[in-house]
Amino acid sequence: GRFAYAPGDRIAGDLTVIGHLAVGRFGQLYQVWSANEWCALTCKIVSPRRRGDRAALAALRREARILRQVRHPAIVRSFGGGEHDGLPFLLMEYLEGPSLFDVIENGRDRRLEPNDAVRVAVHIGAALYHLHRRGFLYLDMKPANMLLRDGVPVVVDLDAVRRISDQRRPVRRVGTAPYMAPEHVRREPLSRACDVYGLGALLYEMLTGRWPFEHVYEEEAPSDDDARQYPQIRGIAPPPVREFAPDVSASLERIVM
């Protein structure tokens, strides 16, 4: 299978694999039982096939460093990390979910009630504000990156995070197309505005059940052409929220747009 470790395997001595969670770009996520903490945790470990990949090793170590520097109720909590068989890993609180993606998918017409959508945006906005105050940009807004803890959304994936002070143009586009700000797509220097755009795109989706530029994707098959793959760089506005969600107030629509 895609996972290197099976339930019952040990990681770094005191961690026992009890479940498979996900496989990402660089790493694998497991639910583990920690004999030290005496609770279930999430273990993110670099995939063995990436053993010699310096970018993968650096990305996980950077995420571990960032998690040590942030502490907020709406950001996943760090429990440290270490190395197993030459592969770095980090430990985080285990969140059972569901993800915000699951909540949206199961909503009526893929929509949340306006009050619920605003509540989610307030929590995520507070997490972004905390990251910004610590000097970081999040840059990977999408519903799958938010898991619910007792009904409160928690930001869980910080491997795209970068420093606000870093004014170099990004080498790669790390993010998810419908939520990326135009300047992010163009690989221009990034600012807090990129995360504000992503939060706006997420709120738009929660209220309407659609991505901001979904009509473009419906009309034109996505291709390698940037203008089709990233319609936000065309300089056009997405359809107003109330076109799809007439129950949304004009003032909330104005904030989202």
Residues with a known catalytic role: 140
Q: Which tokens go with 212?
A: 């901001």
Whether 59 contacts 67, CB under 8 Å: no
Distance CA 158, CA 161 (A): 5
* Strand pairing report for 78-84 and 39-46: unpaired
Structure-block tokens of residue 165: 């002070």
In single-letter form, the type of residue at position 154 comes to V
Task: Say which amino acid occupies 26.
Answer: F
**How far from each other are the two terminal CA atoms of the chain, in whole angstroms?**
44
Alpha-helical segments (H) within 13-158: 54-69, 100-105, 114-133
Q: Tokens 């473009």 sit at which residue?
A: 216
Tokens of 250: 């004009």
Using a 10 angstrom Cβ sphere, with 0-12 exposed, 13-18 middle and 19 or more buried, the burial of residue 54 is exposed
Structure token pair of residue 105: 């998918």
Q: Which helix (H) or strand (E) holds 183?
A: helix 182-185
